[in-house]
A and B are shown apart, each in its own frame.
Chain A
Amino acid sequence: MASKTASHSQKNFFIRQIEGLGAAILDNLNGFGSFITFVLNALLWLFRPPFRLRLFFEQLYFVGNKSIFIIALSGSFTGMVMAYQTYFGFKLISVDSLVGPVTALTLAKELAPVLTGLIVAGRAGAAMTAQIGSMKVTEQIDALEVMGINSVQYLAVPRIVAGTISVPMLSALFLFIGNVGSYIVGTKFLSIDEAMYLSKLGEFMFLGDIWQGLIKATFFGFLISCIGTYFGFNVTKGAEGVGKGTNLSVVWGMIMVLITDYFLTSFLIHIL
């Protein structure tokens, strides 16, 4: 009798686990569906007047200009540390003159776009969610809608366009400063010949490599700002909800940068 109830409740336990898993999967699929709907809706409103240039430039300033310092700082230290790490490995097999191109290629194809994406997701993506989310819970979004203004067009579109444009520009800055850092460390601290460094750089680095990074950065910018604005519009339940939404936006923004990086790379490698 006792063992029968035990197995009965055990069965319930497994069923509950499976139900829980199923519900979680459905929730995520649902969320994904409403995210796609949101993005398509935003794209639709992008092409309809009025075109709000002032809001776009405000966002460009916010996402772009205000990130310059932190991107330059991260870029320079990433380049510098890359030079160090590759130098001591390469020296063992006497190819230390290749530090320049290896650092530059790694930066151009991976580190610049990905790290820029992660930084922007943590900074601007989170801020987008927090701004829009707090407008949602204080009914400012309802106020826009009551005035007949489409809140997606007013709030999401300028942020998405600004994010899509500014992330590749920030990534290019990251790349440039990273290379300067690597050059300084390589030639001044690690005694690689300056002319050698530059000539090898010219020999192995191609425009296609830079393009690959810029295209990826453009996708990341689009994705991060779509995620940031989406979670903002979906904030519920007061200030606590804004914090939760911001958290989700950063986590998903970063994860999606890393996941799409893999797929974009495997695609771009064939065409560039």
Chain B
Amino acid sequence: MLTFNNPAIRIENLTKTFGDHTVLNNLSFDIPKGKITTILGFSGAGKSTLLKHILGLIQPSSGRITVLDRNLAALKDVELREFRQSFGMLFQYAALFDSLDAIENVAFPLREFTKLSNDEVLSRCRNLLESVGLEPISFHKIPSELSGGMRKRVGLARALSLEPDIMLYDEPTTGLDPITTHMVDNLIRSTSEKHNKREMTSVIISHDVKATLRISDFVAFLDRGNIVEYLPASEFAQSKNELVQEFVNL
């Protein structure tokens, strides 16, 4: 099991039960700064639940979560909401606001949380959209007029607009065709590299072993509420864990 000095996210003895169903079971786990870490696991293993804990959207039954040196349990509601601005999140289906066009989706966090003028907001948004590879003719399309891959690009630009310290990706390629999957994977890698100077941390939740091994630095395997394997991506396929072998060779 890997440990890191000064990790971006440190999870210690996290347990979460819903009723009498234990979803996360005494889980401990460090996520290093400035790297791409992927959490793999079967459906229902508790991946989304873990992600929601990292965001402080749900409270642990017991245990401690430290993100960027701050203990989430010690933050008040208002502080926690403010703190969430250091996160960016790309949702599985992008979760764009369907009443706003592409550029206004990206502008949303800027208008909400900064005092930039309208011109500054729009020019930033154009840069962001170009950097994730959206063609200018699509800037004023509403989400229902965009393809799945284009929505992912807009969602990524929106998540990056406030320069987050931690980028979270929830199943970024589930439900996409192979070519778009490849494009999104490359986008995650290049985004991470682009923001390498600021040590932006990326956390991915995924089912896709092949892509994970290609783009990640570290890979963790979550099973029944526990991290059962955690290795650098290059060593993951050689894991001796049976479940991991089963998953990798699927």
Evaluate whether A138 and B98 lie within 8 angstroms (CB atoms) in the complex, with A145-B57, A146-B87, A148-B85 already known. Answer: yes
- Say how far A34's CB is from chain B's closest CB, in angstroms: 16
Known: A138-B98, A140-B98, A145-B57. Contact between A150 and B93, CB under 8 A? no
User: Knowing A146-B89, A147-B84, A148-B82 touch, does A140 contact B57 (C-beta < 8 A)?
Assistant: no
Do A147 and B109 touch (CB < 8 A)?
A: yes
- Chain A residues contacting B91 (CB-CB under 8 Å) are 139, 142-143
On whether the beta carbons of B112 and A138 are closer than 8 Å, the reply is no
Partner of B92, one of A139, A146, A147: A139
Measured between beta carbons, the chain A residues less than 8 angstroms from B85 are 147-148
- B55 CB-CB contact with A under 8 Å: yes
Q: A140-B97, A140-B98 are in contact. Are A148 and B92 (CB under 8 A)?
A: no
Chain B residues positioned under 8 Å from A148 (CB to CB):
80-85, 113
**Across-interface contacts of B93 in A (CB, < 8 A):** 138-139
Q: Is B95 an interface residue (CB 8 A)?
A: yes
Min CB distance B176 to A, Å, is: 16
B112 — which chain A residues lie within 8 A by C-beta?
A: 147, 149
In the complex, chain B residues whose CB is within 8 Å of the CB of A147: 84-85, 108-109, 112-113
Q: Which of A140, A143, A145 has the most CB of B within 10 A?
A: A143
The residues of B that contact A142 with a CB separation of less than 8 Å are 57, 91, 95
Contacting A at CB under 8 A, from B99-118, are 108-109, 112-113
B89→A143 contact, CB < 8 A = yes
CA distance A272 to B87 in the complex (A): 55
- The answer to whether B81 and A146 have CB atoms under 8 Å apart is no
Collect the chain B residues with CB atoms within 8 Å of residue A135's CB: 97-98
CB nearest to A154 among chain B residues: B112
Bound-complex Cα distance A179 to B82 (A): 54
Q: Cβ of B81: which chain A residues have Cβ within 8 Å of it?
A: 148-150
A146 to B96 Cα, complex, angstroms: 13
Instruction: Report the minimal beta-carbon distance from A227 to chain B, rounded to whole angstroms.
Output: 22
Shortest Cβ distance from residue A58 to the other chain B in the assembled complex, whole angstroms: 10
Minimal beta-carbon separation of B47 from chain A (angstroms): 15
Q: How far is the CA of A146 from the CA of B84 in the complex (A)?
A: 6
Would A143 and B57 be within 8 Å (CB), given that A148-B81, A150-B81 are in contact?
no
User: Is the CB–CB distance between B84 and A139 below 8 Å?
Assistant: no
For the complex formed, measure the closest distance between the CB of A231 and the CB atoms of chain B, giving whole angstroms. Answer: 19
Within 8 A of B (CB), among A138-163: 138-140, 142-143, 145-150
Which residue of chain B has the shortest Cβ distance to A141 in the bound complex?
B95
Contacts of B82 on A, CB cut-off 8 Å? 148
Q: Which residues of A contact B109 (CB under 8 A)?
A: 147
Distance between A59 CB and nearest chain B CB, rounded to angstroms? 12
Shortest C-beta distance, B174 to chain A (Å), equals 13
Closest to B155 in A: A143
- Per-residue CB contact flags for chain A residues 15-46 toward chain B (1 = under 8 Å, else 0) read 00000000000000000000000000000000
Q: Is the CB of A146 within 8 A of B57?
A: yes
Q: How far is the CA of A140 from the CA of B91 in the complex (A)?
A: 9
- Residue with the highest number of chain A CB atoms closer than 10 Å, among B95, B112, B113: B95
**Assembled-state Cα–Cα distance A195/B83 (Å):** 70
B57 contact set on A, CB distance < 8 A:
142, 145-146
Inter-chain CA distance A222–B153, complex, in Å, is: 40
Cβ of B168 to closest chain A Cβ, rounded Å: 8
Q: How far is the CA of A147 from the CA of B112 in the complex (A)?
A: 9
User: Taking CB as reference atom, which chain A residue is nearest B55?
Assistant: A146
A–B complex contacts, Cβ < 8 Å, 10 sampled: A138-B95, A139-B93, A140-B95, A140-B97, A140-B98, A142-B57, A142-B91, A145-B57, A147-B85, A150-B81
**Which residues does B use to contact A, with CB under 8 Å?**
55, 57, 80-85, 87, 89, 91-93, 95-98, 108-109, 112-113
Q: Which 10 A-B pairs have the closest CB atoms?
A: A148-B81, A139-B95, A148-B84, A143-B95, A139-B91, A146-B89, A140-B95, A148-B85, A147-B109, A140-B97
